[in-house]
Amino acid sequence: MTIDTTSKPTESMPTETMPATAEIVERCRSLYEDLDFSAARAWKAAVPGRKVVGFMPVYAPLELIHAAGCLPLGLFGGGDQMEVIHGDAYYQSYICRIPRSTVELGVTKRLDFVDGMIFPFVCDVIRNLSGMWKLMFPHVWSKFFDTPQNFDPEVGGRYYVEELKELRDGLGTLTGRKISDDDLKRSIALYNENRRLVREVYAFRARAPWKAPTSEIYLLMRAGLMMEVEEHNRLLVAYLAAAEAEDRPKRDNVRVAVYGSFCEQPPLNLIKSLEMAGCYVVEDDYALVNRFITEDVSTDGDPLEALATAYLKHSVETSCKYVPNEEDKGKYHVAQVRKARAEGVIYATPSFCDPALLDRPMICRRLGEAGIPHIAFKYAENSGQMQPIREQAGTFADSIKLWS
Amino acid sequence: MSDAVKEPSMLLQKEMIAKNYEAITSKNETGRKVASTFVPGNLNELLMCFGIVNNLPEINAIQNGMRKLSGSYIMEAEKGGHSEDVCTYVKADIGMMGKGNIAPNGKPFPEPDVLLLSYTGCYTFMKWFELLREQYKCPTLMLHVPYEGDGHATKNMRDYIVRQLREVVIPGLEQVSGVKFDIDRLREALRLSAQAEEHLVWTLEQGKRKPSPIDAYFGGVYYIGPIFTAFRGTPEAIAYYEALRKEVQARIDAGQGPVTPDGGSFDDQKYRLVVEGPPNWTNFREFWKMFYDEGAVVVASSYTKVGGMYDLGFRHDPDHPLESLADYCLGCYTNRNLPTRIDILAKYVEEYEADGLLINSIKSCNSFSAGQLMIMKEVERKTGKPGAFIETDLVDPRYFSAANVKNRLESYFQMIEQKRRGAAKAA
């Protein structure tokens, strides 16, 4: 794969005039809504031998997939636009929605072009789905990717480097090409650029949320997980420039952070509903993936060691990760709220989401201790009724305005 | 309902468990240290090396479920902000703390000195002990056991666990207890473990006989008790299994089935089942009765393997003590991937000559439950035997619907009958 780290307009965008945010967002929306994954199919068809590797939330080392010459394809269930018929036959009513819609995508052949699937450690449901995938799609290379819960470089780090080697070897077998350290370093550099731009976009949103609504940023990020990283980098640059240049009205909204939504994603309408209810979302954990690592990954030395160190030392606190010290629990959330100058937190979790729901009392307690107002509700990726959510979020926004 | 009739081995076990609760609740008088830890990945032999008493919150939740206390505990936890969607063991534990934290012997549970978070085969464990740590503010030692995603353990996984034992768990336990680690003490305990494990495997394998002298699910939860809790690696466990073996052998000699809680010998066994998933504890006896009333005996189960899969050949090995503990943790049932679980269950159906697989799907246990519908379908496909699915919960009485469970069981038994008639006709 030719690697180009320069940020330049994409072919689909006019070069003579800067695209408006609406144009960029529209393109992202069409990618996000396309459950046949036409763009990824086209990418694969463009060059014989290309492979697509799907990955589920919440973190996978995309650099390795990229270095293998594959397209990493973020799979976040079926959203609210897909009727789940077959998927429900695989799960009891008390299992969350994302595995059933992912199965639906699989059995309806919407993923029949996907050559490999990575199931990162999120919870027992996604863990078990990895085994189901092996049985349902035996021709697909499926990998459960277990990141360490021990963060000592000499203990968890050594384990993780070996796991990364195994992942690299698996991808090598899938593609028939060996991933060299130099390949990987080039990919790391590209993803460092991506992470920097992603951070910049989120920082811009926190500075001027009226110019970068979360309903747009969300699409920009979700689409980015379905295209080549080089292209996403260009898109991020274009969006930042367009959003900065555009004049949009600033509303009397409160600034909120949203947590608990890292795996099964809320419908776009829910994100919009929060905004319509008077909330600027200035911090969130939607999808995470491209924000999971919080700093540049070193491009010096052994690249697998570098990826391991980044995971151990510079990754977000989220419910799928153990927090070794009690005093650190929730500290990350409080710090992020402060950094983004959020006035309150909406803890919005998918129904039956063990990680988020088991964490909720602990995180909310820490928020309370820090004097940060918070509310909580549950959703599903296909939630349709937004009125109760709008009312709850609107009341929360009013209460912050009146009493905080 | 009259008092349940218990076999001598059950009474012996009751005494052992009572003794352990005494050891836990008297820690302030005796000065002994107490660790809270989990059944899968239970490192009892290691804790014994430091003189630490083993307290298992899952077992406490089960006790509270059987004593009809868990419902109010769960509601107490939900009032405190815990979701109705999550594990009811956790909520029963948290709710118990909110209501005085009283142990089954009527004495208050003391605060643990250490939380040994042996994180094997269940994500919830991690959050459970983060929640307990918040309450108790005591040291927490995390032992991360990687999941066998590809259906087997790797050297890297084993090395990782051994490294954690060496670098985190053992030094942590030394610090908590003030006792220096003695590997020979561990070897001796592991030697005793292996002996008890032999006895347990022999007992469980008697389910292959016809009639089966054991019930490998409802009776099985008693059989696994000592090995899965605070007695693996002790002479008491061996004494228990010797007594159990004698009982089972006596029933074999007499051509009898297991003793039911009603006191009868369950000899007229019409249906032989393999059961996947934990039992319901709030209505345990009622649940069991639904089976033997219909002539159904459970000849093998997966629940009796959550604390170790000894029937597949694993034994604790005194010659490789830490590696052996690592292998044990890796091999617990819920740490195995779905295809492996399917293979194990299909093998049970074949080897135990069962009529089919019954899944008791637990509402609040994703580790077991996610994927069970596929397990049923695949085991049916592999064995040609019918499967069935019922839904209950661990310790939340709100999710035990006796009429629904009974209806489904009756339908299942009719299905088996029909299948038999079809097979007879074809022959």
Find the closest chain A residue to B80 by CA distance: A361
CA-nearest residue of chain B to A159? B160
Q: Which tens digit of pLDDT belongs to each residue from A50-78?
A: 999 999 999 999 999 999 999 999 999 99
User: What ipTM was estimated for this complex?
Assistant: 0.97
For residue B90, which of A92, A317, A361, A350 has the smallest C-alpha distance? A361
Burial of residue B323 (number of CB atoms within 10 Å: 0-12, 13-18, 19+): middle
B41 contacts on A by Cβ (under 8 Å) = none
pLDDT at A17: 64
CATH topology of domain B186-426: Rossmann fold (3.40.50)
Q: How many CB atoms lie within 10 A of CB B152?
A: 11
In whole numbers, what is the pLDDT of chain A averaged over residues? 95
Range B8-182: architecture per CATH: 3-Layer(aba) Sandwich (3.40)
Q: Give B169's DSSP letter.
A: I
- Strand A279-284 versus strand A374-379 pairing type: unpaired
How far is Cα A138 from Cα A134, in angstroms, rounded to an integer? 5
Query: CB-based contact (8 Å) between A235 and chain B?
Result: no
Q: Please name the amino acid found at residue A374.
A: H
Residue A12: its pLDDT value, please? 45
Q: Dihedral of CA B64/B17/B49/B174: which sign?
A: positive
Interface test with A, best of B124, B366, B381, B382 (most A CBs within 10 A): B366
Q: How far apart are CA B274 and CA B388, in angstroms?
A: 11
Mean pLDDT across the stretch A175-202?
A: 98
Q: Searching chain A, which residue's CA lies closest to the CA of residue B399?
A: A94
B246: Cβ contacts below 8 Å, ≥ 6 apart: none
A282 CB contacts (<8 Å, ≥6 apart)? A205, A206, A209, A255, A256, A257, A340, A341, A342
Going by C-beta distance under 8 Å and a sequence separation of 6 or more, which residues neighbour residue B139? Answer: B113, B114, B115, B172, B175, B176
Inter-chain residue contact B147 with A121, CB threshold 8 Å: yes
From CA B173, how far away is CA B153, in angstroms rounded? 26
Give per-residue pLDDT as tens, A288-345: 999 999 999 999 999 999 999 999 999 999 999 999 999 999 999 999 999 999 999 9
pLDDT for position A19: 79
Write down the residue that tokens 């390795």 correspond to: A64
Could you give the count of Cα atoms lying within 13 Å of B326 in the half-sphere of its Cβ?
20
Question: How much of chain B, in percent, has pLDDT values that exceed 70?
Answer: 100
- 8 Å CB contact between A281 and A260: no
CA distance A130 to B76: 35
Q: Can you name the residues that pair with A270 across neighbouring β-strands?
A: none
- Put simply, whether B364 touches A (Cβ < 8 Å) is yes
Note whether A379 contacts B: Cβ–Cβ < 8 A: no
Query: Residue A191: which domain range?
Result: 21-318+329-403
pLDDT value of residue B1: 60
The reported pLDDT for the residue numbered B6 is 79
Strands B296-301 and B387-392, sheet pairing: unpaired
Query: How do strand A374-379 and strand B34-37 relate by DSSP bridges?
Result: unpaired
Element (H, E) at B155: helix B155-164
The two three-digit tokens of residue A85, written as one number: 């018929």
Query: Reduced to 3 states, what is the DSSP secondary structure of residue B172?
Result: helix
Cβ atoms A381, A84 nearer than 8 A: no
**Residue pair A276/A235 in contact by the 8 Å Cβ criterion:** no
Instruction: Inform me whether the C-beta atom of residue A403 falls under 8 Å from chain B C-beta atoms.
Output: no
User: Which A-chain residues 50-89 have CB contacts (< 8 A) with chain B?
Assistant: 89
Contact status of A104 with chain B (Cβ, < 8 Å) = no
In Å, how far is A129's CA from the nearest CA of chain B?
7
Supply the Cα-derived Rg of chain B in whole angstroms.
21
CA distance readout (Å), B386 to A227, B368, B422: 45, 20, 13
**Residue matched to tokens 């074949």:** B350
- Kindly state the tokens that stand for B114: 């250490």
Chain B residue with CA closest to A120: the answer is: B149
Residue A365 one-letter amino acid: R
Cβ-Cβ contacts under 8 Å, B378 against chain A: 135
Q: Left, alpha or beta for B76 (phi > 0: left; psi -120 to 50: alpha)?
A: alpha
Q: Does B376 touch chain A (CB under 8 A)?
A: no
Q: How many domains does chain A have?
A: 1
Query: Any idea what the Cα angle at residue A112 is, between residues A106 and A114, rounded to 5°?
Result: 95
Q: If you measure CA to CA, which chain B residue comes closest to A119?
A: B149
pLDDT of residue A15 exceeding 60? no
What is the pLDDT averaged over residues A380-399?
97
Q: A264 in contact with B at a CB cutoff of 8 Å?
A: no
Residues 312..341 of A with a Cβ closer than 8 Å to B: which? 319, 322-324, 326, 329
CATH number of the domain bearing residue A232 = 3.40.50.11900
- Asked if A162's CB is within 8 angstroms of B144's CB, the reply is no
- With a cut of 90, say whether residue A220 has pLDDT above it: yes
Instruction: Identify which of B273, B176, B285, B272 has the alpha carbon closest to the alpha carbon of residue B221.
Output: B285
| Binary contact (A129, B374; C-beta < 8 A) | no
CA distance B338 to chain A (A): 5
Q: What residues of chain A, 122 to 181, have a C-beta less than 8 Å from chain B? A: 123-125, 127-132, 134-135, 143-146, 148-150, 152, 154-156, 158-159, 162-163, 166
> In one letter, which amino acid is B387?
G
User: Beta strand pairing status for A116-120 and A141-145?
Assistant: parallel
H or E element, residue A377: strand A374-379
DSSP B168: I
Chain B nearest C-alpha distance from A13 (Å):
43
Query: Do the first three CATH levels of B8-182 and B186-426 match, i.e. the same topology?
Result: yes
Rounded to an integer, what distance in angstroms lies between the CA atom of residue A198 and that of residue A201? 5
Please state, for a pLDDT cut of 70, what percent of chain A lies above it.
96
- Assigned domain for A235 exists: yes
Whole-angstrom distance, CA of residue B244 vs CA of residue B308: 19
* A313 within some domain: yes
Instruction: For residue A2, give how far its alpha carbon lies from the nearest alpha carbon of chain B (Å).
Output: 33
Sheet holding A141-145, edge to edge: A71-74, A52-55, A116-120, A141-145
d(CA A286, CA B207): 50
Instruction: Provide the strand spans (E) within B150-270.
Output: none
Q: Which residues pair with A71 in a beta bridge?
A: A52
With beta carbons less than 8 A apart as the criterion, state whether B391 and B61 touch: no
B41-60 pLDDT, tens per residue? 999 999 999 999 999 999 99
Single out the residue of A12, A68, A360 nearest to residue A186, CA to CA. Answer: A68
Q: Chain B: residue nearest A95 by CA? A: B370
| B-chain residues near A140 (CB < 8 A) | none
Q: Where are the domains of chain B?
A: 8-182, 186-426
What are the Cα distances from residue B132, in Å, to A358, B94, B116? 12, 8, 11
pLDDT at position A404 is: 75
Closest CA–CA distance from residue B389 to any residue of chain A (Å): 10
Residues in chain B with pLDDT values less than 70: 1
Phi and psi for B409 in degrees, rounded to 5? -65, -45
DSSP SS3 for A305: helix
Whether the per-residue pLDDT at A239 is higher than 60: the answer is: yes
Residue A14: pLDDT above 50? no
**Chain A closest CA to B45's CA: distance in Å?**
23
- Best mutation target among A132, A142, A363 (most B Cβ atoms within 10 Å) is A132
Q: What is the band of A360 on the pLDDT scale with cuts at 50, 70, 90?
A: very high
Residue A13 has pLDDT above 60, yes or no: no
pLDDT at B367: 97
Instruction: Please give the backbone phi and psi of residue A346, each rounded to the nearest 5 degrees, phi first.
Output: -105, 115
A–B interface: beta-carbon pairs under 8 A: 165
Name the residue with tokens 């994302």: A98
